[in-house]
Copies of this chain bind each other. A is one copy, B any other.
Amino acid sequence: MSKDSEPRVDSTLSKGLAILEELTGMKSGIGVSDLSRELGLTKSNTFRLLQTLTTLGYVRREPDRSYAATLKAWQIGRSVVENLNLRAAASQMMLYLSEETKETIYLAVRDGLNIVYIDKIESTKPIRSWNPIGGAAPIYCVGTGKALLAEDYRLLRDQVAANLQQYTDRTITDVEALDKDMAATKLRGYAIDTGEFRPNVLSFGAAIHLPNGETAGALGVSVPDINLGEGDSDRIGALVQHAASSVSENLRRL
């Protein structure tokens, strides 16, 4: 028998959180008795725990005297996501992409109909694309943006459609074309920008997901067209896609 020395677990805290979990999982309130049965606790114990959770603001009493979770747990959880540093989670993969491509790597999140760059690694090659951290770009024009757009295309389509501005001769200004491109992007698994925002600057992007499937951001590689040889496009696309899903995997472990 291996004396694993199980870490000691405070039972009160454990039970309290169990109650909270149970409660948040229910659409409507539940009574003390049912709850205690559910969790295999004594009524009095359950009652006291509910009492403390209530005074702490995690639980409230419904008018029908049953107990229900408040949104406090959610509010707390939200700040985790807010503080969740995508940059930290993505940094290894960004380095990897940089090594593999020697091009400029971007990490971007969506902000309305734009994307905002929250991190980047400069290209080591002489000719490089330029975009400052904190800078923005239209969502339908660049690799990262298109990757993000494809994720929520149903929600964003009409909005974007109403604002299709032309930046280069490659820019997609036709909704039908955008529809097709988004469909293709979804199939492909990563997005391609053929110089639609800055002339002769191509880019590739793939989305990063939170554990629940929500879109958290996107990774992208930006490449001057003259740097791009035959077949490079596919290779970089695949790399970005892989990197993004790897970051998503990282987030899953948080």
B58 lies within 8 A of A17 (CB)? yes
Interface residues on A, range: 35 or more
Give the number of times this chain occurs in the complex, counting copies: 2
Contact mask A21-40 → B, CB, 8 Å, 1/0?
Answer: 10011111000000000000
Q: A175 within 8 Å of B by Cβ?
A: no
CB < 8 Å neighbour of A56 from B12, B17, B71:
B17
A210 cross-chain contacts in B, Cβ below 8 A: 71
Report yes or no: A8 in contact with B52, Cβ–Cβ below 8 A.
Answer: yes
- Looking at chain A's contact residues, the main secondary structure is helix
Question: Provided the pairs A60-B254, A71-B77, A251-B71 are in contact, do residues A16 and B7 lie with their beta carbons within 8 angstroms?
Answer: no
Among the 9-residue stretches A84-92, A140-148, A240-248, the one with 4 or more Cβ atoms under 8 Å from chain B is A84-92
A249 at the A/B interface (Cβ < 8 Å)?
no
**A26 contact set on B, CB distance < 8 A:** 83
Closest-by-CB residue of B relative to A116 is: B71
**CB <8 Å contact, B16 and A17:** yes
Residues of A within 8 A of B (CB): 7-10, 12-17, 20-21, 24-28, 48-49, 51-56, 58, 60, 63, 69-81, 83-85, 88, 91-92, 95, 99, 109, 111-112, 116, 121-122, 133-134, 136, 155-156, 158-159, 162, 210-212, 251, 254
Q: Which residue of B21, B81, B121, B159 contacts A71 across the interface (Cβ within 8 Å)?
A: B81
Known contacts: A75-B211, A112-B121. The answer to whether A10 contacts B21 by CB under 8 A is: no
Cα(A55)–Cα(B17), bound, Å: 12
Residue numbers in B under 8 Å from A92 (CB-CB): 155, 158
- Chain B CB within 10 Å — which of A53, A54, A75, A112 has the most? A75
9 A-B pairs closest in CB distance = A74-B77, A77-B77, A13-B16, A12-B12, A73-B77, A75-B134, A9-B52, A78-B134, A71-B111
Given contacts A9-B55, A74-B81, contact A112 B60 (CB under 8 A): yes
A79 touches B25 (CB 8 A): yes
A27 touching B85 by the CB < 8 A rule?
Answer: yes
Q: Is the CB of B78 within 8 A of A212?
A: yes
Residues of B within 8 A of A54 (CB): 7
Within the complex, the shortest CB–CB distance from A85 to chain B, in Å, comes to 7
Say how far A193's CB is from chain B's closest CB, in angstroms. Answer: 21
The reply to whether A109 and B155 form a contact with Cβ atoms under 8 Å apart is no
